[in-house]
Amino acid sequence: MLRCRSTHASMPKQKLLAITAPAEAADKRLDQFLVSHLPNISRARIQQLISERKVLVNDLESKPSLRLRGGERITLLGEPQPRPLRAIAEEIPLEIIYEDDDIAVINKPSGMMVHAGSGATDDARNRGTLVNALLHHFGKLSAIGGELRPGIVHRLDKATSGLILVAKNDESHRKLAMQFSRREVKKTYVALVH
């Protein structure tokens, strides 16, 4: 039996959405029910809200695996969608191999993410990335990659060191992206095996 504790007295939060599970929801998992009934909220965001104790079932905290019986009152607290994340300029040293008005070639060190992941928030997961360093060093970059990936045409895994091309404007971004998609860029990988 799933045990939940009451939160309405100890955790004052603003109610944003309340729904009643219909009889057809019987035996469905809470997270699956919410995903199917709230198409504007991503599955990842629903799971995040549940883990942050912002989903109450009959005023009690619950788990994603809770099996509904039908008739439960489900309340979502907090923002259904997190605020859009923006990359922030950070003073991080860069090894610039080449630079002109359109592009830069950076030697990315191992252990550095190119950009924050889709699950990143305003915390440490959105800090210390190559994008943070690029924004500090260059200021404005191509906007084609969006707020989290300005100037990023391709990427290297976090554990991989190597050269990465950065587009300083939209025209160079489009041209570089086309060359990558046509496989006109020659890539060479060297691996060290111990």
Side chain identity at residue 191, one-letter code = A
* Residue from 31, 59, 157, 170 carrying the catalytic annotation: 157
Of 71, 166, 83, 75, nearest to 122 by C-alpha is 83
What is the distance between the terminal CA atoms of the chain, rounded to a whole angstrom? Answer: 50
∠89-92-98 over CA atoms, to 5°?
A: 95
Other CB atoms closer than 10 Å to residue 158's CB: what's the count? 14
CA-closest candidate to residue 129, choices 179, 175, 85, 169: 85
- Which strand (E) or helix (H) includes residue 107? strand 103-108
Report CA dihedral (159, 165, 166, 171) to the nearest 10 degrees: -150
Q: Give the whole-angstrom CA distance, residue 63 versus residue 47.
A: 9
Of 136, 155, 158, nearest to 145 by C-alpha is 155
Annotation says 122 is catalytic: no
Catalytic residues: 157
